Amino acid sequence: MEKTRDEFTSLLVSYKKIKAHDITVVFDGHKNGTGTENTEVRGGIKVIYSRLGECADEVIKRIISKERREWIVVSSDRHIVNHAWAVSSIPVPSGRFFEAVSKQVRTGAHPENPEPAGEDDKDACDADAFKSHRKGTPRQLSKKERAVRKALSKL
């Protein structure tokens, strides 16, 4: 388990070098943690281990409730997702976040040197342009899905 946490943290450190976002990761310590909440910084990433008897979910809810700003909260847990929406934060599903971050790290795209559009990207853009010129009522994404997509585009 510790190896997986280290690999994930290393991925986020690599991502931070590319994007320079503030990143906080919360890991569970409720089963085998210490009596106090532990916080450390690894490569610019703030890593929090919840205290013994406290779930990481509770720590995440406390953090996003205390600091009232628009957080991008990465979780697939329904309770965290609902809480994030309630406090004006944007929850992003874990799988979609992992794909976005992995792609950024793999390509090494840097904000000053964005990744050039490949042939696949051009086809996708052309298809989107074609769809937007249809007659009739366009299918619009829900407000929440638009917010999630906007958050993912920032990553």
* C-alpha dihedral (118, 142, 144, 127), degrees to nearest 10: 0
Q: What is the pLDDT of residues 48-86, one digit of tens each?
A: 999 888 889 999 999 999 987 889 999 999 999 999 999
Q: Please, how many CA atoms are within 13 Å of residue 103, restricted to the half-sphere of its CB?
A: 11
Q: What share of the chain in percent tops pLDDT 90?
A: 43
Query: In the chain, how long is the greatest CA-to-CA distance?
Result: 62
Q: In whole angstroms, what is the distance from residue 108 CA to residue 96 CA?
A: 18
Enter the DSSP assignment of 35: S
Residue 91: φ, ψ to 5°: -85, 135
pTM: 0.71
- Tell me the torsion sign for CA atoms 36, 15, 128, 71: positive
Tens digits of residue pLDDT in 6-45: 899 999 999 999 988 899 999 987 567 677 888 999 999 9
| Rg value, the chain, Cα | 18
Evaluate if residue 118 carries a pLDDT over 60.
no
pLDDT at 123: 40
CA 135, chain centre distance (Å): 36
